Amino acid sequence: MSHEPARATVVLAVTGSIAAYKAPIVARLLKKRGVRVVSLMTKGALGFLGPETLSGLTGERTLVERTGHDGEKHVELGAIADVVAVVPATADFLARLAQGRADDLVAATCLCARGRVLLAPAMHPRMWAHPATQRNVATLLDDGHTIVGPEDGEVASGDRGLGRMSEPEAIAAAILRELDVRDLEGVRVVVTAGPSVEDLDPVRFLGNRSTGKMGFAVAERAAARGATVTLVAGPVNLSTPPGVHRVDARGALAMRAALHDALGPELDRADLLVMAAAVGDYRFRETHPEKLKRTGEALTLELVPNPDLLAEIGAMRGGSSPVLVGFAVETAGSDEALVALAHKKLVDKRVDFVVANRASDAFGRDDNRALLVSASEVEGHGVLSKLDLADRILDRARTALGSGDRGSGPPSGARR
């Protein structure tokens, strides 16, 4: 007799802020990933959101406040929750939690939580900047809680500054990281990352500005979600993510050899290939064993084309395996132009979808702004951390994989 793995459970608590309208979106995103969501609301939250909305989305009765008849409800909720997520968390709630108060069901549940507590602050920028709030935040971080945001932007009053609650996608991604939902269990993933470097001599080389952070983020999140991951990396100054097998490759030809070794001659050693590396288009025709000396004369260096690794793999695929993800780093001004370039790459390289972004948004940063472009749709994102964007890429890839059985099971629970 088979038994379905226990689902991860998130207690989603809502406090009294206008940003409460984003909480149902967080609930929906978590439910889409197979997470059980139990919702709580403070009395103040009722002025901004109806409990029926959360009940309808989660399939669970929404609990409001603590009354004399609730008994040990906070103990029960604290015991079942792999994560208690307070979305939004007001300045008043942060202050009460930092003081260890338990004067409503949400605060009491946080104090009784066996799992992680995640807080998504939302308030006016001056409230966030106040020394008292910052002291409370420091205390909560010292207590081991996770804080997501806030972000810089426009708040309800029309003022701008640091205090706007993070977007639902970023909050849901942070919650899933706390859960370490293993929805890619059994999926074999190969990721390329970083630049290729083509040597002219022992001192000089031809390269590009890629740091490898995006590809490493994809490898890190894929491994955390249960995949078996091989990372083919160009020369970068990054640590290998936990649980990832890393193969270093300096130039395009070395990366090509490592990639084909990881995939196998029939491309049957991987279910998903994410081509995040910025492979140079050209290399020097001749590599010199000694440093070229300056002569004072003009110097002409001949370049020859490198193989197009993405196009090669796309042409080799007999069907739809492995799922193939390409990247398009462009300098296009408008999103429309960026999408057009991505569509061309989608067709020319025969890939399943393209992650399209601008060089100015991507290189050397810890965040990114990208469009996920397939033949049928364009999925846009604001600025996300590269780890959060990696999860969105893997979500889309998982959908492409999901018609089969690979990685399609429910989350197996939290990391505890």
- For the annotated catalytic residues, the residue numbers are 208
- Helix H segments across 226-354? 252-263, 309-316, 335-349
Task: Give me 236's structure tokens.
Answer: 């970068």
Calpha distance 318→266 (Å, rounded): 9
Calpha distance 128→136 (Å, rounded): 10
Calpha distance 192→215 (Å, rounded): 6
Contact criterion met (CB below 8 Å) for 193 and 217: no
Beta-carbon count within 10 A of 31 CB? 16
Nearest-CA neighbor of 350 among 300, 315, 396? 315
Task: Give me 231's structure tokens.
Answer: 């990372």
Please report which helix (H) or strand (E) contains residue 198, including its range.
strand 198-199
Contact criterion met (CB below 8 Å) for 215 and 249: no
Contact criterion met (CB below 8 Å) for 116 and 146: yes
Q: Is 23 helix (H, G, I), strand (E, B) or coil?
A: helix
Please report which helix (H) or strand (E) contains residue 57, including its range.
helix 51-58
DSSP states of 113-169: -SSEEEEEE---HHHHHSHHHHHHHHHHHHTT-EE---EEEE-TTS-EEEEEPPPHH
Task: Give me 144's structure tokens.
Answer: 């081991």
Task: Give me 109's structure tokens.
Answer: 């549940």
Beta-carbon count within 10 A of 80 CB? 14
